[in-house]
């Protein structure tokens, strides 16, 4: 099966090249996503997961690297070509209210997406807007409402509706459910899954919540300070996380069951994320790693294969740890 | 005897569209050293309950009434504003979700801590400073002495929240109320904070009201849980009973909505459909009825009464749920 999207050695650096203080928000990551599948990108604040999402869509221009979409390198596409391609590549943000123009009613917000790409002109437009609202589970009468009249869950449905209006193939979902109550979160998660099934969508699902990512993804990549430290199929990574950071992250997720909570071994990481403008040498996780040794400071660890579909960047894995 | 005893608390807000019944008849006790979880979705009345206890609801537009509300022998309903201020900070303290909005951005961390210590503990400056350093060390801020001169923006979110906890603990409160205190933090930092709160209750016997919508954190931290919906407590149970024998349609809905990192991967979540209820004209029936998946005929006839399920577990629900195995 061929990949719909392939990312090669992608780097996004902020600040003058080579100067001290340059923040390497994304620093050499590669992955591919097959059509109709979901890649989960997880990590804590500041790990570069959102910047990766923006860089794929060229909302921030990558410093180096390639983003291949159907044979075209998006990093080299000019503004006109990008505008055309963006019809196929959409994004949904965490704060739906902030991403909707407060002065436009819902119908116009959805219609605007159609107008920009010249879709469903004339009499077909109104019908299509109703069809789209229906697709995301919004009642037709909301068409004349304004964003401030909507709840968080409804606003996120409108944002999803706008993304779907242009019939995209790939949607970058940047923490789409993080701001919502659990009950509403579950509604949106189910909606995203239904839409994927019906429309064959491909998702890059960015979240700090490993439970939601487990639910949504086929493949999972764990990021720490601009790099992917571990990548695997969903079942493998949740059953047997290999990288010490992934292990710590998983152990920190509380489980809604007091009995298993009482038995779980929790790895409490000391301290906070290091300053990304001045990351540790060698393995970037070593300053908080419970199993770091001296050699970890020397080299950036290469990927260690655990199986054909699972790798992690930790030199201690070779010792059989 | 309970440290905090609340009977029939009602907190209302007058608005242009009518009176919002944010808290609508809440009663519970909190024992010394107990960690009580308040769970429920936005607008269920968790925070307003806490603010009412702290006497932080502005009146008007708010109106706080109760049959009784006592804390450590003090009648909270009869406190003047000045008396309430003495109780707050000294014997009850609160930590909010967003530490950046609670800290003053133009004052150093040290100044903000020392201010509280001077005001409530009547310490002189050098003593207050020494105590401030101790407190920052206790909550795990490295290089505490140097950090006193830092300003809030120089701290990460997790560190700011730890500073808030240090300020909240500075006067050895008997009651700590944490309102979504870890919701905005990364999970590894959340684990640190939860660990800290556990240590405090163990070492000092501090009572805690932990407000959260994250059932995982609640399972890990709390001794008992009150589930709130539409301004009321709909189920109350010791922690294990709540998760093993959820006995209200809403509690079931919350558990079904929560994706989990353990156990078999489910293909679908079972969300609670629909939207939270209108608090201006509540139904005379169970407020959860329109969204409930387990409702029975009686639910459409009258409001459910509190049903005792033994072992200090009760729920206001007619449905006989079959999870009733201990």
Share of residues in chain A with pLDDT > 90 (%)? 67
- A11 has pLDDT over 60: yes
Name the minimum distance, in Å, from the CA of B88 to any CA of chain A: 30
Q: Which residues on chain A are in Cβ contact (under 8 Å) with B265?
A: 214-215, 234-235, 238
pLDDT tens digit string along B179-189?
A: 988 887 788 88
- Which residues in chain B have their CB less than 8 angstroms from residue A248's CB? 188
Which of A69-73, A141-145, B224-228 has maximum average pLDDT?
Answer: B224-228
Nearest CA in chain B to A239: B262
Q: B269 vs A273: CB contact, 8 Å cut-off?
A: no
User: How much is the pLDDT for B322?
Assistant: 59
| Residue B325 pLDDT exceeds 60 | no
Chain A CA closest to residue B252: A183
Assign A1 a pLDDT band (cuts: 50, 70, 90).
Answer: low
Test A254 with B194 for CB contact under 8 angstroms.
yes
Region A34-61: what's the mean pLDDT? 93
The nearest alpha carbon in chain A to B43 belongs to: A181
Biggest alpha carbon distance in chain A? 69
- Best A150, A156, A175, A186 residue to mutate vs chain B (most B CBs within 10 Å): A186
Range of the domain at A9: 3-88+168-239
With beta carbons under 8 A apart, name residues in chain A contacting B144: none
Question: In this structure, is residue A176 part of a structural domain?
Answer: yes
Task: Check CB contact of B258 with chain A, cutoff 8 Å.
Answer: yes
Predicted pLDDT at B326: 33
Q: Quote the pLDDT of residue A320.
A: 65
Query: pLDDT (tens digit, 9 = 90+) per residue, A83-95?
Result: 889 899 999 998 8
What pLDDT is recorded for position A51? 94
CA distance to partner chain A, nearest, from residue B144 (Å) = 13
Q: Residue A175 belongs to a domain with what CATH number?
A: 3.40.50.300
Across all residues in chain B, what is the average pLDDT?
88
Residue of B nearest to A275 (CA): B156
Mean pLDDT of chain A: 91
What is this structure's pTM?
Answer: 0.87
Domain annotation covers residue A58: yes
Tell me whether residue A225 is in a domain.
Answer: yes
Per-residue model confidence (pLDDT) at position B170: 86
Task: Tell me if chain A has a CB within 8 Å of the CB of B154.
Answer: no
Q: Does residue A319 sit in helix, strand or coil?
A: helix
pLDDT at residue B255 is higher than 50: yes
Per-residue pLDDT, averaged over B155-166, amounts to 84
Residue of A nearest to B224 (CA): A258
CB distance B26 to B6 below 8 Å: yes
Domains of chain B by residue range: 223-326
Q: Does A34 reside within a domain?
A: yes
Assigned domain for A102 exists: no
- How many domains in chain A? 1
Q: Locate the chain B residue with the closest alpha carbon to A274.
A: B156
Contacts of A249 in chain B (CB under 8 A): 187-188
pLDDT at A198: 92
Give pLDDT tens digits for A239-295. Answer: 999 999 999 999 888 888 888 888 888 887 877 778 888 889 999 999 999 999 999
Average pLDDT over residues B91-102: 84
Residue A296 lies in a domain: no
A25-29, A193-197, B128-132, B279-283: range with lowest mean pLDDT: B279-283
List, for residues B109-132, the tens digit of each pLDDT value. 999 999 888 888 888 889 999 999
CB-based contact A153 B187, cutoff 8 Å: no
Are residues B280 and B19 in contact, defined by beta-carbon separation less than 8 angstroms? yes
pLDDT-derived band at A313, boundaries 50, 70, 90: very high
Higher pLDDT, A75 or B181: A75
Q: Please tell me which residue, A135 or A320, carries the higher pLDDT value.
A: A135
Chain A nearest C-alpha distance from B128 (Å): 26
Residue B123's pLDDT is: 87
Question: What is the end-to-end Cα distance of chain A in Å, rounded?
Answer: 33
In chain A, the percentage of residues whose pLDDT exceeds 70 is: 99
Mutation to test the A interface, candidates B150, B213, B271, most A Cβ within 10 Å = B271
* pLDDT tens for each residue of B6-46: 999 999 999 888 899 999 999 999 999 999 999 998 889 99
Instruction: State the SS3 of chain B.
Output: CCCEEEEEEEEEEEECCEEEEEEEEEEEEECCCCEEEEECCCCCCHHHHHHHHCCCCCCCCEEEECCEEEECCEEHHHCCHHHHHHHHHHCEEEECCCHHHHCCCCCCHHHHHHHHHHHHHCCCHHHHHHHHHHHHHHCCCCCHHHHCCCCHHHCCHHHHHHHHHHHHHCCCCCEEEEECCCCCCCHHHHHHHHHHHHHHHHHHCCEEEEECCCHHHHHHHCCEEEEEECCEEEEEEEHHHHHHCCCCHHHHHHHHHCCCCCCCCCCCCCCCCCCCCCCCCCCCCCCCHHHCCCCCHHHHCCCCCCEECCCCCEECCCCCCCCCCC
Inform me whether the pLDDT recorded for B320 exceeds 90: no
pLDDT score at B142: 78
The least confident of A40-44, B153-157, B249-253, B257-261 is B153-157
CB B211 within 8 A of CB B177: yes
Amino acid B277: pLDDT: 83
Task: Tell me the chain A residues in contact with residue B194 when contact means C-beta distances shorter than 8 Å.
Answer: 254
């Amino acid at each position: 099966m061929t990949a719909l999207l392939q990312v090669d050695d992608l780097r996004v650096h902020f600040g003058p090249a080579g100067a001290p203080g340059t923040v390497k928000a994304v620093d050499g990551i590669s992955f591919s996503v097959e059509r109709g599948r979901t890649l989960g990108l997880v990590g804590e604040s500041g790990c570069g997961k959102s910047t990766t999402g923006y860089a794929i869509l060229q909302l921030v221009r990558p410093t180096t690297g390639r983003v291949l979409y159907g044979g075209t390198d998006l990093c080299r596409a000019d503004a006109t070509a990008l505008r055309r391609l963006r019809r196929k590549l959409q994004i949904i943000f965490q704060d739906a209210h902030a991403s909707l123009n407060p002065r436009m009613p819902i119908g116009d917000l959805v219609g605007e997406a159609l107008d920009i790409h010249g879709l469903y002109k004339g009499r077909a437009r109104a019908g299509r807007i109703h069809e789209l609202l229906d697709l995301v589970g919004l009642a037709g009468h909301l068409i004349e409402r304004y964003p401030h009249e909507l709840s968080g869950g409804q606003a996120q449905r409108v944002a999803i509706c706008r993304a779907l209006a242009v019939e995209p193939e790939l949607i970058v979902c940047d923490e789409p459910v993080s701001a919502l109550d659990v009950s509403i979160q579950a509604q949106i998660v189910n909606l995203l899954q239904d839409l994927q099934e019906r429309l064959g969508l491909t998702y890059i699902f960015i979240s700090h919540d490993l439970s939601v990512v487990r639910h949504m993804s086929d493949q999972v990549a764990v990021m720490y300070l601009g790099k992917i430290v571990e990548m695997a199929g969903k079942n493998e990574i949740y059953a047997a996380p290999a990288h010490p950071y992934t292990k710590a992250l998983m152990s920190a997720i509380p489980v809604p069951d007091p009995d298993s909570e009482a038995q779980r071994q929790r790895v409490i990481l000391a301290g906070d994320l290091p300053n990304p403008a001045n990351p540790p040498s060698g393995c970037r996780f070593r300053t908080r790693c419970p199993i770091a040794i001296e050699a970890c400071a020397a080299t950036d660890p290469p990927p260690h294969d655990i199986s054909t579909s699972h790798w992690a960047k930790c030199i201690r894995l070779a010792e059989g740890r | 005897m309970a440290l905090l005893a609340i009977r029939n608390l009602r907190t209302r807000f007058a608005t242009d569209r009518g009176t919002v019944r944010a808290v609508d008849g809440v009663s519970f006790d909190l024992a010394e050293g107990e960690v009580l979880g308040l769970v429920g979705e936005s607008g269920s009345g968790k925070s307003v309950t806490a603010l009412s206890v702290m006497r932080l609801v502005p009146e008007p537009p708010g109106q706080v009434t109760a049959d009784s509300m006592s804390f450590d022998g003090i009648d909270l309903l009869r406190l003047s504003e000045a008396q309430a201020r003495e109780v707050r900070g000294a014997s009850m303290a609160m930590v909010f979700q967003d530490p950046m909005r609670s800290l003053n951005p133009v004052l150093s961390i040290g100044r903000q801590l020392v201010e509280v210590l001077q005001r409530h503990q009547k310490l002189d400056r050098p003593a207050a400073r020494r105590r401030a350093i101790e407190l920052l060390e206790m909550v795990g801020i490295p290089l505490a002495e140097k950090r006193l001169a830092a300003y809030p923006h120089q701290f990460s979110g997790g560190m700011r929240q730890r500073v808030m906890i240090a300020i909240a603990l500075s006067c050895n409160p008997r009651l700590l109320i944490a309102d979504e205190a870890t919701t905005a933090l990364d999970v590894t930092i959340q684990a640190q904070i939860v660990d800290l709160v556990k240590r405090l209750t163990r070492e000092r016997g501090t009572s805690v009201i932990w407000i959260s919508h994250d059932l995982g954190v609640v399972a890990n931290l709390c001794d008992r849980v009150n589930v709130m919906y539409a301004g009321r407590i709909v189920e109350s149970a010791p922690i294990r009973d709540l998760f093993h024998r959820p006995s209200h349609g809403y509690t079931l809905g919350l558990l079904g909505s929560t994706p989990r990192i353990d156990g078999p991967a489910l293909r679908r979540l079972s969300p609670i459909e629909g939207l939270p209820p209108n608090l201006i004209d509540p139904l005379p029936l169970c407020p959860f009825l329109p969204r409930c998946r387990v409702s029975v005929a009686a639910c459409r006839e009258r409001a459910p009464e509190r049903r005792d399920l033994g072992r200090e577990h009760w729920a206001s629900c007619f449905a006989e749920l079959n999870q009733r195995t201990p």
